[in-house]
Chain A
């Protein structure tokens, strides 16, 4: 049901200019319904220098239904849940169009990082801080970028491979990494305690 040939073409398109666009996608094996997007934080924002990973699920009606996207890197941003990475963006909902692609969606997320819309928030606390105490907001957003988006978030596949090597199944290791925002030590702790 999923238009696999279209998804393949999209992946080729993203791969072609990922160094210029600042967005890229990694696929997990042959599964085209689940992938990992990566967005480099826009220059001149508190997200600069960070690499933000996005969990992407394609519904079977894609491209007639929007991709489901959620940040797996923790982000301090009015339109992103600081709890679970859920994103508030019109094109991921009713303003989605099959004229858009995974690349344009990721670029829109990148643009959202540059231009928050605090009047239409996903995270009320962050939005309030953004509106009432912008300096504190900047500080927190920068701190979160330093803490969660820099320390090797590029190497999510390597971390996954390490955990698999230790004997955990790929699925379990990935969901542990996901739930810990990509922090491998926290993930390992979680895996060992669970």
Chain B
């Protein structure tokens, strides 16, 4: 009996672990909203003022193309929250009703995929509805229209933000599973998991971080191109001028030449924020 009691004491109870997780999240929340304020890019320069020369050179280089940054909270959902805000803000600014209609059709496809994969509709419909509500409210001139300030508030609201993140996680998981043959080699090589295990443990739970696979799947499923700009240590050893690499995630079926992603994210190892491009 003693041994048994001892064995159990070593492991904190589930609710204790969860309470601890929640504590950490609450501490983070005090530091930063889900999405922060738009800040001039100079805040990045200040952040790396005493950092390595590679980073300093790259931040300077970034300044040639980008003007501002909006930070996302580092809680493992930063890619999805950044994507959500960046996309909705773009629609609000451009009033691109054609794009709204297009993405709504993509959402219908995603819904079919999820049902085909055996998800009960009630498990995702509430999340889907909240995202569609946001899509419709950024178009002006309707009773439900909202301002940029309200969009910011909503994207900082735990209920709205988490529901949309969860919808994106469903969509991402659905796309990966729908195209198992395409995704499985990447996933196997990266994680040693099969597609179903990967979706269950690295896509569907809140707080699981996103990488190439997630971004490709979400971008493809919704038909929204995404640019990811990398601020990392690469090119450290060369003495040629630092280059800032970026990768464009172009949805399958898009005409490559015409696409210039309007969702632009800054990636630093383990984290995504939103970038704003200089207007010409």
Task: Give the B-binding residues of A (Cβ under 8 A).
Answer: 3, 6, 9-10, 13, 64-66, 68, 81-83, 86-88, 90, 92-101, 121-125
Shortest CB-to-CB span from A5 to chain B, Å, is: 8
Whether the pair A6, B126 counts as a contact (CB closer than 8 A) is yes
B170: chain A residues within 8 A (beta carbon): 99
Q: Which of B3, B7, B173, B207 contacts A99 (CB 8 A)?
A: B173
Whether the pair B122, A66 counts as a contact (CB closer than 8 A) is no
Beta-carbon nearest neighbor of B13 in chain A: A86
Tell whether A66 pairs with B18 under 8 Å between CB atoms, given A95-B201, A124-B3: yes
Whether the pair B123, A99 counts as a contact (CB closer than 8 A) is yes
Interface residues of B in 1-36 (CB under 8 A from A): 3-8, 11, 13-15, 17-18, 21
Distance, CA A13 to CA B200, complexed state (A):
21
Residue tally, chain B, CB below 8 Å to A: 31
Q: Which of A9, A87, A99, A122 contacts B8 (CB 8 A)?
A: A122
Whether the pair B14, A123 counts as a contact (CB closer than 8 A) is no
Beta-carbon nearest neighbor of B204 in chain A: A97
- Residue B166 is within 8 A (CB to CB) of chain A in the complex: yes
Q: Which of B8, B15, B120 contacts A123 (CB 8 A)?
A: B8
Question: What secondary structure prevails in chain A residues at the interface with B?
Answer: loop
17 interchain pairs (CB within 8 A)?
A6-B126, A9-B122, A64-B162, A83-B8, A93-B18, A94-B17, A95-B201, A98-B206, A99-B123, A99-B169, A100-B204, A101-B120, A121-B7, A122-B8, A123-B4, A123-B7, A124-B3
Q: Which of A64, A95, A125 contacts B3 (CB 8 A)?
A: A125
Distance, CA A90 to CA B170, complexed state (A):
19
Whether the pair A3, B126 counts as a contact (CB closer than 8 A) is yes
Chain B 119-161, CB-CB to A under 8 Å as 1, else 0, gives 1101110110000000000000000000000000000000000
- Residue B205 is within 8 A (CB to CB) of chain A in the complex: yes
Whether the pair B7, A124 counts as a contact (CB closer than 8 A) is yes
Whether the pair A124, B173 counts as a contact (CB closer than 8 A) is no
Whether the pair A101, B123 counts as a contact (CB closer than 8 A) is yes
Whether the pair A64, B206 counts as a contact (CB closer than 8 A) is yes
Whether the pair B15, A99 counts as a contact (CB closer than 8 A) is no
B4: chain A residues within 8 A (beta carbon): 82-83, 123-125
A98: chain B residues within 8 A (beta carbon): 123, 127, 166, 206
A13: chain B residues within 8 A (beta carbon): 120, 122
3 tightest A-B CB contacts, nearest first? A124-B7, A97-B204, A9-B122
B206: chain A residues within 8 A (beta carbon): 64, 97-98
Distance, CA A90 to CA B18, complexed state (A):
12
Chain B 92-136, CB-CB to A under 8 Å as 1, else 0, gives 000000000000000000000000000110111011000000000
Distance, CA A92 to CA B205, complexed state (A):
11
